[in-house]
Amino acid sequence: MYILIDSSHKLHYTGVISGPYGPVNGFRDEFLDIYQEHGINPKYHWSDLTRKKRGALQKPLVKLLQSNPKVHLNVFDHRKPQKISKKDWYLYRVPGRICHRLEHWMENKWGSAELIVDDDYNVIKGGKGTEHFIENFLRQTSQRLTGKNATIRFEERIKTTIKQNNGRSLTLYASVAPKNSRWISLVDAYLGLYASEKNIFSKLSNCYAAKIE
């Protein structure tokens, strides 16, 4: 399965697209076909598109999500409170709330999962903020699913294996997305569309929105 994470509006929102490998791969291919039909290069951010282009994409993108019920869109509104540090908020609280939302969906899943995160969470010195976000996401996922601490391995990708309560193992392979990732373009488009047209998603059973406070 895939878990794809991106942020927008200067870390005001985080969007997560998740689902099994097959449905998400098909969803991405259809998304790229829509962009191609409208003469749009997927490397462009939603905010870079003209109002006319965004308007033309609205209906086909909503229809695409509606017709793929195994693909889930979660959007989190998380403007940082003044009295909390960027590190505590973006690298601990935000991934923790995402884990809380995905917990039920990930219960007793086994095999492998790909976690791909856009490099948006560099809120600490050293330029490794997104890696810290990923590490905390994996640790909190393990705690929620099993009540146990995860062993994180920093190899070509960040990796952990979770022994689920049903006795099967789920291995998560996590990475920071490369620049102009088409996986992240997918999340970016839906996150941008949601931020400007929230109401059109309210009736979709595979779309969820929450405010982190």
Contact by Cβ (8 Å): 186, 72: no
Domain 2-211 CATH (choose: 3.40.190.170, 2.40.110.20, 3.30.420.10, 3.40.640.10): 3.30.420.10
Residue 76 confidence (pLDDT): 93
Residue 38 confidence (pLDDT): 93
Contact by Cβ (8 Å): 172, 29: no
Residue 168 confidence (pLDDT): 93
Residue 102 confidence (pLDDT): 93
**Distant-in-sequence, close-in-space partners of 184: CB < 8 Å, separation ≥ 6:** 4, 6, 116, 118, 177
In angstroms and rounded to an integer, the radius of gyration of the C-alpha atoms of the chain is 17
Per-residue pLDDT of the chain (213 residues; tens, 9 = 90+): 999 999 987 888 999 999 999 999 999 999 999 999 999 988 888 888 999 999 999 999 999 999 999 999 999 999 888 899 999 999 999 999 999 999 999 999 999 999 999 999 988 887 789 999 999 999 999 999 999 888 999 988 999 999 998 999 999 999 999 988 989 999 999 999 988 888 888 888 999 998 888
Give 116-137 as a DSSP string: EE-S----STTS-HHHHHHHHH
Domain ranges of the chain: 2-211
What does the alpha-carbon distance between residue 54 and residue 34 come to, in Å, rounded to a whole number? 12
Residue 141 confidence (pLDDT): 94
